[in-house]
Structures are given as structure tokens and as C-alpha cells.
């Protein structure tokens, strides 16, 4: 183990959230070992603001629950404690033991269960901090900071990889991806967000194993999609996910067949909408994932409407409402999009016609509606994707209207 003492690193306790400090302090005071670990340590070392703070301890889940009133135990594969504070949730996990599922091995644990394809199904086997380090995904995520001595414990070489900007999976890459295919997405996400290189051995099996993502429950994939696409690096992440064939499990409609015209529009809108979400040009923030999925699914919707109109000879409104229902249902099942987000996607779509026909254009209330603003942004993307003058004129009309309505 390499101990990096206080004067040799840049982590200051002032940068750690007060709640995490309290949790670490209380665990230590009650006689448990406890460390800040994961993104909190990694991002502070890289002088970035951590998204959240994770804690690892030798206290067992029910011991954590006894210490904290605001504790909720979650997860089946591995039980962790969520400590719920006003503005943040702190994840406290108990040190995991070395992974061994071979029945004749001396460290065999009946608490670790794998599926036939190597995926971890149940992993409630607790161990020591040095064992826990080997169960983490990346070397840069396996650094343990103690508030007792302000030192960082590095069991695997995370500090060197941070300095050299290398994303390196711990252990045999193929085995670790088979245990949990989401690790492939995490490798890509951190390589983009932290602007780091992916180590060759970590990179090598990804293309071949990318299909394993189909075994992941859609709700988990959707949570990952938000982390991948909605934090300012969506476009670059999308490009890199494509490179490793990982994007198709997250956005399966990329493989849909479209008419010639819609193929071009669809390709264009993908680029434009990721860039728009990453770099909003207006002061109001675009709501990701609602806006992203409303835009990405727009041409699959148009294609479906077209099919119903030609094959079933339906009236436009009927074909439209059937298609909306069909697309939202299909992708809520495939992508795990939650209901509240589906509702907003539908509202953004429904407003497209109203905006095109200038409905309610004298109503001041309409411009205060956030969904209207998202819908107008979709009109803007469509006008660019299709290079359509009519839509550009409509956009111009509304922008002028909004300007005057705001003045009243
Ligand atoms: P961020 O919170 O900025 O997205 P993070 O690395 O903190 O990044 P979390 O999802 O908060 O990511 O996870 C906390 C820590 O738990 C990770 O740093 C890593 O050590 C461990 N971890 C998370 N997911 C996995 C996984 N699939 N396999 C192994 N370890 C994991
Ligand atoms: Mg984290």
C-alpha cells in the first residue's frame, strides 16, 4: 500500500461536503474504519468539483442504519446505505471481500453468485479495505482518503494513473466486464469527462463484449444514459460510444431503417441535439433527458406516422396519436424511460403542430411554459436538420413574438 501523506497531495477538507465529513467523523468516532472513496477523491485530485461523495467503511449495513436515522438500505446485488440529507445523498458501502465463486477455492463465498455468462447477481460478502480496493472498477476510483490523518491510501496504483491520465480497469478486463457490463460504459464516460486515455488491455475486449449490455435492466441503462449524455459531454461521449459499438444498446433506434430523406434528417438531428444539450445557446437550460429523447425520437416518430398513413390509410391525427403511443411505449420498455419523462416528451411533440400553426401566439402565458421553450428548441433543431425555410420563418416569427410579449 502506498500512503500519500497530507503535504504530498492537493485534497483540502474544505472541499469535502460538510455532510460527508460528519458521516466520516461519526463512523470513526463509533470505532469503524471509514474513508472517502471513488469520484470524490478522484475529482478533488484532478481539481474538479465532485458530483457526489461516496464513503467506504467496515461498518455493516445494519450497523450503519443504527448510527444514522436518515439511512435507507438499497440494492440487492450489493446492499449499500444511502444517507439522505437535504441537498445530497451520500452513498456508504461496506468493504467488499475478494471475489471468489469457485467452489473449491479457499476463499469461496456462497454470498457471491454469478449467472452463466459471468454476471454478478449477488455479492454480499464483506471484507477489508485492501480487498475492497480490488473490487472497484478503475484504479483511479480505488483511492481511499481518511479524515483521521488526511492521507490517501493507494493499493493499486491509482495515483500514478491519475498523473499519467490513464483509465485502467482493475483485474482481468474481460472478466470484470462480464461481471458487470456497465463497466464498459463507465470506462468511456470517464475517459471523455476526464480527458484521459484508455489503457490498451482495458480497451481491447470492449467491442467484442458490447452486446453484453443487452443483459442489463433498462432502468439501469437509462440512469447510465443520463450520466453519459446530460452532463455537458454528450456529443463526445456519443462519438466514443459509437467507436466501441456501445451506443446501440442505449439508443437502439439508431439501427432503424428510414426513408432516404429521413435518414439524412435523423443523422443531422443527432449531432445537433447532443451539441445543443452540451452547449445551450439560450439562458434557459434545456431539460435533459426530456429534450434529448424528444429530439432523438422525432424521426422514428415521423417514420411511423408515414407508415400508418400509407399502409393503413388513416387520417393524419389518428396516425399521429397512434404513432406517439407506439413509439413511447416501445422505447419506454426498451430504454426504461420513466413515466414523467415520457409525458414531457409527448407534450414537446404535441406542441410542434401548435407552434407551426402559430396557435395561442397572443397568449403571454405560453412563453412562461418551460415545455413550450423545449418544443421551440425542437423546431429550431428540425429547421436545421431539414434545412427547411418554412420552419425557419416560423422560428423567426416566434422569437419576435416572444420578444414583444416579454415587453408587455
Ligand atoms: P461520479 O459519481 O462522478 O459519476 P464515481 O466514480 O464516484 O463517479 P459512482 O457511481 O458514484 O461513480 O460510484 C462510486 C464508486 O463505486 C466508484 O468510484 C467505484 O469505485 C465504485 N463503483 C461504481 N460502479 C462500479 C462498478 N460497476 N463496478 C465496480 N465498482 C464500481
Ligand atoms: Mg460518485
CATH code assigned at 220:
1.10.110.30
The beta-carbon contacts of 146-151 under 8 Å, at least 24 apart in sequence, are: 146/34, 146/35, 146/36, 147/13, 147/16, 147/21, 147/24, 147/25, 147/28, 147/36, 148/28, 149/5, 149/6, 150/5, 150/6, 150/11, 150/13, 151/3, 151/4, 151/5, 151/6
How many structural domains does the chain have? 3
Smallest CA-to-CA distance from 337 within 393, 406, 387, 290 is with: 290
178 and 147 fall within a common domain: no
| Residue among 43, 137, 161, 199 flagged as catalytic | 137
Which residues on adjacent β-strands are paired with residue 197? 166
Domain boundary among 199, 215, 250: 250
pTM for the predicted model, two decimal places: 0.92
89 and 31 fall within a common domain: yes
Q: Measure the CA–CA gap between 394 and 354, rounded to whole angstroms.
A: 11
| Rg (alpha carbons) of the chain, rounded to whole number | 25
41 and 182 fall within a common domain: no
142 to 50, 109, 259, 356: CA distances (angstroms): 15, 23, 48, 53
Name the H helices within 230-315. 234-243, 247-250, 260-278, 290-296, 298-311
Q: Measure the CA–CA gap between 213 and 221, rounded to whole angstroms.
A: 8
Per the annotation, the verdict on 54 as an active-site residue is: yes
| Residue among 43, 54, 161, 199 flagged as catalytic | 54
**What's the CATH code of the domain at 337?**
1.10.3090.10
Residue whose C-alpha cell reads 389518428 in the numeric block? 318
Domain ranges, residue 303? 252-407
Would you give per-residue pLDDT tens digits along the chain (408 residues)? 999 999 999 999 999 999 999 999 999 999 999 999 999 999 999 999 999 999 999 999 999 999 999 999 998 778 999 999 999 999 999 999 876 544 555 444 556 667 777 776 666 688 999 999 999 999 999 999 999 999 999 999 999 999 999 999 999 999 999 999 999 999 999 999 999 999 999 999 999 999 999 999 999 999 999 999 999 999 999 999 999 999 999 999 999 999 999 999 999 999 999 999 998 776 666 788 999 999 999 999 999 999 999 888 788 999 999 999 999 999 999 999 999 999 999 999 999 999 998 887 777 777 778 899 999 999 999 999 999 899 999 999 988 887 777 776
**Is the distance from the beta carbon of residue 346 to the nearest atom of ligand 1 less than 6 Å?**
no
User: 240 and 191 in contact (C-beta within 8 Å)?
Assistant: yes
**What's the CATH code of the domain at 62?**
3.30.460.10
278 and 331 fall within a common domain: yes
286 and 388 fall within a common domain: yes
**Is the distance from the beta carbon of residue 132 to the nearest atom of ligand 1 less than 6 Å?**
no
205 and 155 fall within a common domain: no
Amino acid at each position: 500500500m502506498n500512503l500519500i501523506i497530507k503535504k504530498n497531495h492537493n485534497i483540502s477538507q474544505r472541499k469535502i461536503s460538510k455532510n460527508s465529513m460528519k458521516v466520516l467523523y461519526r463512523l470513526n468516532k463509533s470505532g469503524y474504519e471509514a474513508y472517502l472513496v471513488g469520484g470524490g477523491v478522484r475529482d478533488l485530485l484532478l481539481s474538479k468539483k465532485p458530483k457526489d461523495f461516496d464513503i467506504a467503511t467496515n461498518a455493516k449495513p445494519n450497523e450503519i442504519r443504527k448510527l444514522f436515522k436518515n439511512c435507507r438500505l438499497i440494492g440487492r446485488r450489493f446492499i449499500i446505505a444511502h444517507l439522505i440529507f437535504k441537498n445530497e445523498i451520500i452513498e456508504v458501502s461496506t468493504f467488499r471481500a475478494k471475489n471468489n465463486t469457485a467452489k473449491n477455492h479457499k476463499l469461496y463465498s456462497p454470498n457471491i453468485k454469478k449467472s452463466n455468462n459471468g454476471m454478478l447477481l449477488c455479492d454480499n460478502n464483506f471484507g477489508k479495505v485492501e480487498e475492497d480496493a480490488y473490487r472497484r472498477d478503475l484504479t483511479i476510483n480505488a483511492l481511499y482518503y481518511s479524515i483521521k490523518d488526511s492521507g490517501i491510501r493507494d493499493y493499486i496504483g491509482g495515483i500514478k494513473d491519475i498523473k499519467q491520465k490513464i483509465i485502467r480497469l482493475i483485474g482481468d478486463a474481460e472478466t470484470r466486464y462480464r461481471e458487470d457490463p456497465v463497466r464498459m460504459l463507465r470506462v468511456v464516460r470517464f475517459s471523455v469527462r476526464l480527458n484521459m486515455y484508455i489503457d490498451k488491455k482495458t480497451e481491447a475486449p470492449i467491442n467484442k463484449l458490447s452486446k453484453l449490455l443487452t443483459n442489463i435492466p433498462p432502468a439501469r441503462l437509462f440512469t447510465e444514459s443520463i450520466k453519459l449524455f446530460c452532463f455537458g459531454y454528450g456529443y463526445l461521449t456519443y462519438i466514443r460510444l459509437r467507436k466501441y459499438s456501445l451506443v446501440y444498446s442505449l439508443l437502439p433506434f439508431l439501427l432503424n431503417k428510414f426513408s432516404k430523406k429521413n435518414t439524412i434528417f435523423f443523422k443531422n438531428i443527432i449531432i445537433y441535439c447532443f451539441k445543443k444539450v452540451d452547449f445551450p445557446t439560450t439562458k434557459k437550460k434545456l431539460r435533459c433527458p426530456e429534450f434529448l429523447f424528444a429530439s432523438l425520437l422525432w424521426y422514428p416518430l415521423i417514420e411511423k406516422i408515414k407508415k400508418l398513413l400509407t399502409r393503413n390509410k388513416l387520417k393524419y391525427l389518428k396516425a399521429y396519436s397512434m404513432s406517439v403511443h407506439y413509439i413511447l411505449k416501445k422505447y419506454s420498455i426498451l430504454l426504461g424511460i420513466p413515466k414523467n419523462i415520457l409525458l414531457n416528451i409527448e407534450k414537446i411533440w404535441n406542441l410542434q403542430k401548435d407552434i407551426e400553426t402559430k396557435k395561442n401566439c397572443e397568449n403571454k402565458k405560453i412563453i412562461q411554459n418551460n415545455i413550450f421553450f423545449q418544443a421551440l428548441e425542437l423546431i429550431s433543431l428540425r429547421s436545421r436538420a431539414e434545412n427547411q425555410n418554412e420552419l425557419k420563418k416560423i422560428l423567426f416569427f416566434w422569437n419576435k413574438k416572444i420578444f414583444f410579449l416579454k415587453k408587455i
